[in-house]
């Protein structure tokens, strides 16, 4: 089996493997038509993840060194070397932009997802349910798909019933459905003072008045919420109580009960966005909506917990709002894809979801350890299993300055100003997504670059 020698390479692992492959093809170590090791075989030999090998093979295929064939493997294409430039042929310079190391998109690690998804798709194609997944679905989704959603929800809501589940085309669609169906134009919608930008754009697009509630290390401060409610009447509170985006805060059960009590007292709806609930440090902690079930809509999805390709969300609602929610799904997209919903149902019924969650949690914990090591001298807020971290920069940095400099140096992060529900000046924090890089080596490389940039006075760069 071909195993590359990498000691001479000082760069991200996937590029080192691709360069070693090019070298060995050039030297005749590998011949045209020769089959390369599988992703798992080479990953085991090099003690890296299969995702790193997958990325290396993709890079080699981009260079036209190899060709991958579904179901057969990856094969060497050619031993030809590029012809040297002559005086009659102009030199060709490849001065393309360097690849950005993207730490801006929250998603599960991609190392093994390709293999899981391929197997799931093949199982779906062979399934007796395949034909039924090709037709229109009834309002709310097929009962079987809703039952699978209830099965998924029962890890957080033990009494979840399929009749109270509405299928959506992902969590963002679920947010839109709930906010559109249960509030009106001009209504006041509350959220965390620092919140997911999708909430901000959605509220403004729907012509809702958005107000951010002050926060501490647990998230929304109950006393601040009460003061807001005494001044104005909110229609809805959108809250991410576990691994909040962007601060990674986890709200205690005591505080969740306090927030629920305020919802009862001031008669507003809770939209419990529990998309990161599976990353809780204490899995026994109850969702926010469990403390006020009659006035809460619980929302989650599979795109963060299982794989991004599964754009399926689940809304669990009291019976009184089900018709309004399902009507809004029909008005917005008519129906989420039954084919994707069937694939999601198979993943859940076969237990693949729990296996992937364990993989993602373990990977997140390893990456959090890397971040803590590199940023040991800085203020970094995170959770043991969260996908992201909230980094506060030392003075005189601002988040916008640092974000621009990081991008100029090949690393993409999001400035804290993008998370302000109400723009209120500059911030000194940036969000770092730890799961986006393909490998832990690539993450370490990106974070080390960021840490080195922080060490210098920003005025030196202007």
- As a whole-number percent, the residues of the chain with pLDDT over 70 amount to 91
What is the model's pLDDT at position 86? 43
Q: How far apart are the first and last CA of the chain?
A: 52
**Top-confidence range, 1-5, 347-351, 365-369, 394-398:** 365-369
pLDDT band at 112 (very low <50, low <70, confident <90, very high): low
> Residue 75 above 80 pLDDT?
yes
pLDDT band at 458 (very low <50, low <70, confident <90, very high): low
pLDDT band at 90 (very low <50, low <70, confident <90, very high): very low
Average of per-residue pLDDT across 368-382: 97
> Residue 84 above 70 pLDDT?
no
What is the model's pLDDT at position 95? 43
Average of per-residue pLDDT across 71-96: 56
**Top-confidence range, 111-115, 365-369, 438-442:** 365-369
Task: Tell me the per-residue pLDDT of 286-322, one tens digit each, with 9 for 90 and over.
Answer: 999 999 999 999 999 999 999 888 899 999 999 999 9
pLDDT band at 79 (very low <50, low <70, confident <90, very high): low
Selected residue with higher pLDDT from 389 and 424 = 389
**Lowest pLDDT segment from 63-72, 152-161, 194-203, 224-233:** 63-72
> Residue 91 above 60 pLDDT?
no
Selected residue with higher pLDDT from 222 and 427 = 222
What is the model's pLDDT at position 60? 87
Taking the CB of residue 70, how many other CB atoms lie within 10 A of it?
A: 6
CB 219 within 8 A of CB 245: no
CA dist 389 and 243 (Å) reads 9
Bond into 246 cis (ω within 30): yes
> If we measure between CA atoms, which residue out of 217, 219, 223, 180 comes closest to residue 196?
219
- Dihedral sign for Cα atoms in the order 27, 29, 34, 38: negative
CA dist 178 and 298 (Å) reads 10
CA dist 184 and 364 (Å) reads 39
Residue recorded with tokens 């001065």: 95
Average of per-residue pLDDT across 192-203: 96
> Residue 173 above 50 pLDDT?
yes
pLDDT band at 89 (very low <50, low <70, confident <90, very high): very low
Q: CA-based angle 25:29:32, to the nearest 5?
A: 55
pLDDT band at 460 (very low <50, low <70, confident <90, very high): low
CA dist 423 and 178 (Å) reads 25
What is the model's pLDDT at position 56? 86
pLDDT band at 177 (very low <50, low <70, confident <90, very high): very high
- What distance separates the 2 farthest-apart alpha carbons in the chain? 83
> If we measure between CA atoms, which residue out of 57, 298, 44, 338 comes closest to residue 164?
298
Mean pLDDT for the chain overall: 89
> Residue 156 above 70 pLDDT?
yes
The CA–CA distances, whole Å, from 337 to 33, 142, 175, 397 equal 40, 11, 18, 45
> Residue 94 above 80 pLDDT?
no
What is the model's pLDDT at position 434? 97
> Residue 277 above 90 pLDDT?
yes
Selected residue with higher pLDDT from 30 and 390 = 390
> Residue 117 above 70 pLDDT?
yes
- Dihedral sign for Cα atoms in the order 198, 204, 205, 207: positive
Written as one string, the DSSP assignment of 251-311 is --HHHHHHHHHHHHHHT-EEEEE-TTGGG-SSTTPPPGGGGSGGGEEEEEESTTTT-TT--
Kindly state the DSSP code that residue 102 receives in the 8-state scheme.
E
**Tokens describing residue 236:** 């809805």
Task: Tell me the per-residue pLDDT of 232-264, one tens digit each, with 9 for 90 and over.
Answer: 999 999 999 999 999 999 999 999 999 999 999
> Residue 136 above 80 pLDDT?
yes
> Residue 92 above 80 pLDDT?
no
């Amino acid at each position: 089996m071909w195993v590359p020698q990498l000691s001479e390479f000082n760069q991200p692992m996937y590029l080192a493997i691709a360069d070693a492959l090019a070298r060995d093809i050039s030297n005749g170590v590998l011949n045209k038509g020769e089959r390369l090791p599988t992703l798992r075989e080479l990953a085991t030999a090099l003690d890296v993840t299969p995702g790193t090998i997958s990325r290396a093979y993709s890079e080699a295929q981009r260079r036209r060194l190899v060709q991958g064939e579904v179901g057969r493997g990856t094969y060497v294409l050619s031993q030809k070397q590029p012809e040297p430039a002559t005086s009659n042929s102009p030199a060709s310079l490849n001065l393309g932009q360097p690849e950005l190391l993207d730490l801006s998109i929250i998603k599960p690690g991609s190392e093994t997802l390709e293999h899981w998804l391929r197997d799931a798709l093949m199982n779906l194609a062979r399934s007796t349910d395949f034909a039924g997944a090709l037709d229109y679905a009834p309002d709310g989704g097929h009962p079987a798909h809703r039952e699978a959603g209830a099965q998924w929800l029962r890890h957080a809501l033990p009494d979840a019933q399929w009749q109270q589940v509405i299928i959506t085309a992902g969590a963002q669609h679920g947010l839109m459905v709930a906010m559109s169906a249960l509030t009106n134009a001009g209504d006041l919608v509350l959220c965390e003072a620092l919140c997911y930008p999708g909430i901000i754009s959605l509220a403004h697009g729907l012509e809702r008045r958005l107000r951010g509630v002050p926060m501490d290390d647990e998230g929304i401060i109950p006393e601040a919420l009460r003061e807001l409610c005494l001044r104005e009447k909110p229609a809805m509170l959108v809250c991410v109580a576990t691994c909040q985006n962007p601060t990674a805060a986890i709200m205690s059960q005591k505080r969740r009960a306090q927030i629920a009590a305020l919802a009862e007292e001031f008669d507003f709806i809770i939209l419990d966005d529990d998309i990161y609930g599976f990353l809780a440090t204490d899995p026994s902690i109850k969702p926010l909506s469990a403390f006020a079930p009659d006035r809460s809509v619980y929302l989650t999805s599979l795109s963060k917990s299982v794989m991004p390709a599964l754009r399926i969300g689940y809304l669990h609602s009291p019976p009184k709002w089900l018709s309004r929610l399902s009507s809004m799904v029909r008005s917005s997209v008519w129906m989420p894809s039954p084919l994707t919903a069937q694939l999601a149902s198979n993943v859940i019924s076969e237990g693949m979801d729990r296996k992937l969650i364990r993989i993602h949690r373990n990977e997140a914990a390893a990456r959090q350890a890397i971040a803590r090591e590199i940023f040991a001298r800085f203020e970094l807020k995170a959770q043991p299993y969260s996908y992201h971290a909230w980094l506060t920069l030392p003075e005189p940095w601002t988040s916008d300055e640092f974000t621009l400099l990081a991008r100029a140096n090949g690393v993409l992060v999001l400035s804290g100003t993008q998370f302000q529900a109400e723009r209120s000046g500059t911030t000194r924090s940036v969000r770092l997504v730890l799961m986006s890089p393909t490998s832990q080596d690539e993450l370490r490389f990106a974070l080390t670059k960021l840490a080195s940039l922080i060490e210098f006075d920003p005025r030196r760069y202007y």
